[in-house]
Amino acid sequence: MKDLINKKILFIICGGVAAYKSLETIRLFKKNNAEIKTILTKSAKEFVTPLSVTSLSQGKVYDDLFNVENEMEMDHIALSRWADVIIIAPATANTISKLSQGSSEDLASTVVLASNKQVFLVPAMNVRMWEHKSTKDNIQKLSTYGYKLIGPTIGNMACGEFGEGKMSDPSEIFDEISNYLSNQVKNKRIKALVTAGPTNEYIDPVRFITNKSSGKQGYEIAKSLLKRGFDTTLISGPTNLHIDESINLIKVETAEEMFKETQKNLPTDIAIFSAAVADFKIDQKSQNKIKKQENFTINLEKNIDILNFVSNHNSMRPRLVIGFAAETENLDENATSKLSKKNCDWIIANDVSKKDSGFNSDYNEVTIFYKNSQNKKETLSLKKKSEISEEIVDRIVAQIN
C-alpha cells in the first residue's frame, strides 16, 4: 500500500538523538496521504520543535497531559481511539521501561496505556543500553502485551560506538506500517468467528456439569484478530472476562446455545473453536432442585459436536477451520487423530495437566498440528496467552493473505 488516504497515524516522538529521523518518517507518511497527529514528550522538545513537526505533519502536536486547550479539543482517551496505529519513534530505553511498568505519568504513556490499537516501538539507544538485561526484560514484557518492534539495526551511533541499537531508517518504518495497514484493509473484508470458555450443562436449575476452562486463550485470540482488522465475532461460554466493544460478543451457557449461535454466524471465513464444550449433557434435566439423597444417578448423552458440524459443512465450510485439543496424555497421537476425524485444517493442542499453563493460567504452551503441510506440527513455547494469540494470528494472516 502506498496511498494511505483516510489512514490515521498517531506518532509519539521521545527524547533521543535519533528524533530527527522521525521528521523524515512523518514526511514519508504525509507524502502518501496519511493523516498524522503527534505527541512530543518533554525531552523530545530538546531535539525537535513543535513547529518543525507541525509543518511536516500538517496536524496537531500534543505535548502536555494537563493542557486544558488540548483536552477540550480531544481528550487523551479520544486521541487513543482516533488512531489506526500508534508509532513510538524513537522509543528510548526510558520510555520502554515506563511502558513496561504501565506508567501513565504524561500524555504519551497515558494514551498508549488507554489504547486499543496496535503499538509499534522503534527503539533507538546506545548498544550497551540495548543489550542490558533490564531493557531485554522490558522488551520481552511489552511483547507479551502485544507491542511490535521495528528494529533496531546495527551501525555507527552518534555516541561514536558501533553495534545494535540504531533506529531503523524512515523507509523501513514506512514499509512496515504500510504493510500492516494494507493487511488491515484486506482483513476488514474477512469474517472471523471464535468460540471460548466452558459450557454449563444443567442437571437441575441450580447444578450443572462444567470444566475448568477460563476462556482466556480464546478471548486473547479474538483481541488479536480485531487488532489486525478482522471482522470478529466471539461466542463465549460463562466467564468473568471483558472484551473490546468493537468485537461482536455473544454470551451463551450451554453447548446447544453455542451451537445455535454458531449456525447463525455462518458463513464465516475463519472459525476458531477454542471453547471447551462439554462432551456430554444430562438426558433429562430436572425442572426442580433435586433434594439430597443417599444415592443418585444421572444419565448422560453426547452433546452436539460443533467443530465437526462446521468443519464438514458442505455449503458453508469456512476457508480455515481451527480446533483446540486439551489433553492430559498422548498429546501428539490424540491431536493428530482429532485433526483427521474432525476434518479441520489445524488442531492447536496443549497439555492441561501441567500446573504452569493451560486452564485458569495466564500462560500457555501449545503445538499446532497442520493438515496439509510439509511441517506437520509446530510448537509455540511457554509464554503468556496474549503472546501465544499473537503468534497464532500471525500464522492465520500468512495463510489467509
Task: Give DSSP secondary structure letters for 175-200.
Answer: HHHHHHHHHHHHHTT-EEEEEESB--
159 is an active site residue = yes
Task: Give the HSE-up count for residue 47: Cα atoms under 13 Å, Cβ half-sphere.
Answer: 18
pLDDT number for residue 185: 83
Predicted confidence (pLDDT) at residue 1 exceeds the cutoff of 60? no
Of 197-206, 266-275, 276-285, 353-362, minimum mean pLDDT range: 353-362
pLDDT number for residue 244: 80
Identical fold, 8-185 and 189-400? yes
Chain CA centroid to CA 105, Å? 25
| Percentage of the chain modeled with pLDDT above 90 | 73
* Domain 189-400 of CATH type 3.10.129.10: no
Domain 8-185 class in CATH: alpha beta
Predicted confidence (pLDDT) at residue 358 exceeds the cutoff of 60? yes
For the stretch 98-154, pLDDT in tens is 999 998 888 999 999 988 889 999 999 999 999 999 999 999 999 888 899 999 999
Q: How confident is the model at residue 219 (pLDDT cuts 50, 70, 90)?
A: very high
What phi and psi, each to the nearest 5 degrees, are found at residue 145? -85, -5
d(CA 153, CA 162): 11
What phi and psi, each to the nearest 5 degrees, are found at residue 293? -135, 160
Give the per-residue SS3 of 57-122: HCCCEECCCCCHHHHHHCCHHHHHHHCCEEEEEEECHHHHHHHHCCCCCCHHHHHHHHCCCEEEEE
pLDDT number for residue 73: 61
Quote the cell numbers at residue 154: 546495527
For the stretch 286-302, pLDDT in tens is 999 999 887 888 899 99
Q: How confident is the model at residue 375 (pLDDT cuts 50, 70, 90)?
A: low
Q: Choosing from 77, 78, 159, 185, which is the catalytic residue?
A: 159
pLDDT number for residue 68: 64
Predicted confidence (pLDDT) at residue 283 exceeds the cutoff of 70? yes
What phi and psi, each to the nearest 5 degrees, are found at residue 171? -65, -35
Q: How confident is the model at residue 74 (pLDDT cuts 50, 70, 90)?
A: low
Q: How confident is the model at residue 63 (pLDDT cuts 50, 70, 90)?
A: confident
Q: How confident is the model at residue 78 (pLDDT cuts 50, 70, 90)?
A: confident
Q: How many residues does the chain have?
A: 401
Bridge partners of residue 369, in order along the sequence: 347, 377
| Rg for the chain, CA atoms, rounded | 24
Chain CA centroid to CA 176, Å? 18
- Give all strands (DSSP E) within 168-278, no chain letters: 191-196, 201-204, 207-209, 231-236, 248-251, 270-273
Give the per-residue SS3 of 329-343: CCHHHHHHHHHHHHC
- Comparing 202 with 103, the larger pLDDT belongs to 202
Local structure of 376: helix, strand or coil = coil
Q: How confident is the model at residue 157 (pLDDT cuts 50, 70, 90)?
A: confident
What phi and psi, each to the nearest 5 degrees, are found at residue 113? -65, -30
CB 276 within 8 A of CB 197: yes
Read off the pLDDT of each residue in 206-210 and give the average, rounded to a whole number.
93
d(CA 154, CA 317): 47
pLDDT number for residue 356: 80
Predicted confidence (pLDDT) at residue 79 exceeds the cutoff of 70? yes
For the stretch 228-250, pLDDT in tens is 889 999 999 999 998 888 899 99
Q: Are strands 300-302 and 61-62 parallel, antiparallel or unpaired?
A: unpaired
CB 14 within 8 A of CB 44: yes
The domain segmentation of the chain, as residue ranges, is: 8-185, 189-400
pLDDT number for residue 96: 96
Give every CB contact of residue 90 below 8 A, 6+ residues apart in sequence: 13, 14, 16, 18, 19, 21, 22, 122, 123, 124, 125, 167
If you average pLDDT over every residue of the chain, what do you get?
Answer: 91
Task: Give the HSE-up count for residue 301: Cα atoms under 13 Å, Cβ half-sphere.
Answer: 6
Read off the pLDDT of each residue in 28-57 and give the average, rounded to a whole number.
94
